[in-house]
Amino acid sequence: MASPRLIKLSVTDTPVFSFNLKAETAEKSSAVLQKDEEEHNMYFNDQGFHTSLIRKLLTTTLDHIDHHVLSIYALGASPEDVERAYVRNSSYQRPALPVDEDIIKRLSNRDEFRKLAGQREHYSNFLQFFKRELEAKGADSVVHEYVFAGGEFADEMLARLFAGLMHPIIHLGFGIEFNQPSIIAQALAQIATHDKRLETFFQAAERMAKDAGNPGEKTLVQLQDELRNDPDIKRSVMWADANKIFDGVMHRCPEKMIKYASQFSANADHLEEKLAELINSTGMADLYFTGTAQNPKKAIKFDFFYIHSLNSNIFLPTFFAQPWMTMETKIRLLEWKARNDLLIYVSRGCTEPFLEDITNYTPKLSWEEVFKKTVTLEQDDGHAAKFIRHIAHGEKVCKPYEEKDGFRIKSGMWLKLGNMLVDSVCAPGPSWVRSAGFEEAWEGIPARQ
């Protein structure tokens, strides 16, 4: 049985989306994930921002082995597929840091916790602290207390949940979805060691939405259209900005960005529809702006930053299904997530959507063939597998709402997107484009044939 000290996958713990789960792969995946936790540091270099050039430049910061292994396990991978993925991704990891018992004891004091939060060198200490918390209180209680309880302390952690290109929320989502307390402990330690700079944005947008009594009539796609057509917003981010959120839009145009973000809101009556809108939109709000963020002169490539908005959406239904999550907490999580997606959309240059790149695409593979291809991709470190699982899940979630405004990804387009992703990763040139709204980002991407 899985515990805060042991990773133990079981085919009886069905993920939110899966295909052909295998007991032997569950066993193999459990073994490599346990090995990863015991031997590797969550952060494998000293860079402060995730760009995933991985083996070439080692400028990503986070260990993606959990994400990769769990995603391909859920897509029907064999034990051999899992072993190959682990070997590829473990080659550039750093060894786990030793723990300091004095530091771990200090973390029980909230003031001391906050002093040490945001410091990645203390990841191992936070990890052991949260393992002990989970053993004493249980996963549900600890996740609620530290992230979703509201109040100054938990709100800081909630803001950290979205930092680092949303890897903390992705990691926590995997832990809860696959019922693995050990991975939940990793996620909580990861949250605690990210920064809280986004809190100012989230709190300001939340206050503005409440003051306006915003009924949430605007869809995410509408807001993206408005952001893209606002010259002040468009000028707020420059290619030369080192951090395109904090050196870009939140430096040059924070008031407008917050105002736009505040115009997305949800309520209890339309929570499921707003969730589906978010999933569709990342393709079309999230899915939309990810799938259509192309350059008509260049080969099809997906934006590396946008895919994180998309890949994190699959976990929201899992969060919402937790018995400890109140309706108020669900609404707040959805609103913060959507507002963060709008911020990421602007930070990559407010890409022009080219929907015809999807509608005109001719898919060659069925879903089953897409899954089989994805789990064996040598070019992938987990990002492609997460993408494929998300859109296969998104097709089901969005189907009841396809004819509504704000849902521009329709039936049949989901499979096309799956084929586009596999073809783009396997094609010559980089697997991803980074900051697709800037012409400079497309340098080095082959011309479209």
CA gap 158, 148 in Å, rounded:
7
pLDDT given for residue 44 in this prediction: 56
The residues near 293 (Cβ < 8 Å, ≥ 6 apart) are 302, 303, 306, 348, 351, 353, 436, 437
pLDDT given for residue 62 in this prediction: 60
Which residue's entry shows tokens 């096309």? 416
CA gap 2, 10 in Å, rounded:
9
| Tokens, residue 111 | 């003031």
pLDDT given for residue 286 in this prediction: 43
Q: What is the mean pLDDT of the chain?
A: 90
Spell out the long-range contacts of 213-218 with Cβ–Cβ below 8 A and sequence spacing 24 or more: 214/262, 214/263, 214/265, 215/265, 216/264, 216/265, 216/266, 216/267, 216/270, 216/274, 218/263, 218/264
pLDDT given for residue 237 in this prediction: 98
Alpha helices by DSSP H, 213-270: 220-228, 231-235, 250-252, 254-262
Q: Tell me the three state secondary structure of residue 147.
A: helix
User: In the chain, which residues have pLDDT < 50?
Assistant: 46-60, 283-286
Q: List phi, psi (to 5°) of 40.
A: -120, 150
Instruction: Give tens-digit pLDDT for 9-23.
Output: 999 999 999 999 999
Distances (CA, A) of 130 to 31, 136, 137, 181, 197: 21, 10, 10, 10, 23
The residues near 140 (Cβ < 8 Å, ≥ 6 apart) are 322, 323, 324
**Please, are residues 376 and 364 in contact by the beta-carbon 8 Å criterion?**
no
Buried b (16+ CB within 10 A) or exposed e, 112-137: ebbebbbebebbbbbbbbbbbbbeee
CB atoms within 10 A of CB 270: 14
pLDDT given for residue 56 in this prediction: 34
CA gap 267, 252 in Å, rounded:
31
pLDDT given for residue 404 in this prediction: 82
| pTM for this model (two decimals) | 0.94
CA gap 339, 215 in Å, rounded:
15
